Chain A
């Protein structure tokens, strides 16, 4: 039984380490930032979750008591990784703004929703006027 627990802990540690490596290798292999965002926010989070599970099982075997710290760290990381990814993507889009002039006309009263306020939207939308330059404030 102890051998089975050792096997489970070692398996979880190895799987988590491999996922950490894959996530960090994706950081340097992929092309630009919007594709690079996928590697750390998915693979690395999964790897750290596996490492925390291994630590939990290990301390259950060693101490005979369930520790809640790992669950706390796991929940915090799994909740904050998408928020971090969203913020990084938003800041990247904010840095590399296009003017939208390469887009075809929409043949409607309103422009493209990424660049112009949509129909019925409140006046405050983006940080720039649209491609047609008629963003009224």
Chain B
């Protein structure tokens, strides 16, 4: 049962990634693309979780934690660059 649920999870997360790539390519404004990228990071974290559950290993948690931190920092840095013209003043 968990195998089927994981298959559905892989499918759903991949489809969500495709939709985010669509918004990232077609987004009319710049902030649309930033938001799509941030959502892509969260979907990739979900994919990593599913993969770790399928392999029954806890190796990938650190990578998911690092990825979430990098996604947040990059989004905030980009928005700050748009707001101020400088990241570190």
**Which residues of A are at the interface with B, using a C-beta cutoff of 8 A?**
6-7, 9-11, 13-14, 16-18, 20-21, 23-25, 27-28, 33, 36-37, 40, 44-45, 47-48, 51-52, 54-55, 58-59, 62-63, 67, 69-70, 72-73, 76-77, 80, 83-84, 87-88, 90-92, 94-96
CB distance from A77 to the nearest CB of B (A): 6
Known A27-B35, A73-B68: A83·B20 in contact at CB below 8 Å: no
B31 touches A92 (CB 8 A): yes
Q: Which residues of B contact A70 (CB under 8 A)?
A: 61
User: Interface majority SS on B: helix, strand, loop or mixed?
Assistant: helix
CA distance A7 to B5 in the complex (A): 10
Are A44 and B43 touching (Cβ within 8 A)? yes
Q: Which of B5, B31, B56, B68 contacts A88 (CB 8 A)?
A: B31
CA distance A54 to B52 in the complex (A): 12
**Chain B residues with CB below 8 A from A94, complex form:** 82-83
Q: Could you say which of A27, A48, A72, A96 contacts B46, with CB atoms under 8 Å apart?
A: A48
A13, B6: Cβ atoms closer than 8 Å: yes
A70 to B68, CA, bound (A): 12
CB contact between A27 and one of B29, B36, B56, B68 (< 8 Å): that residue: B36
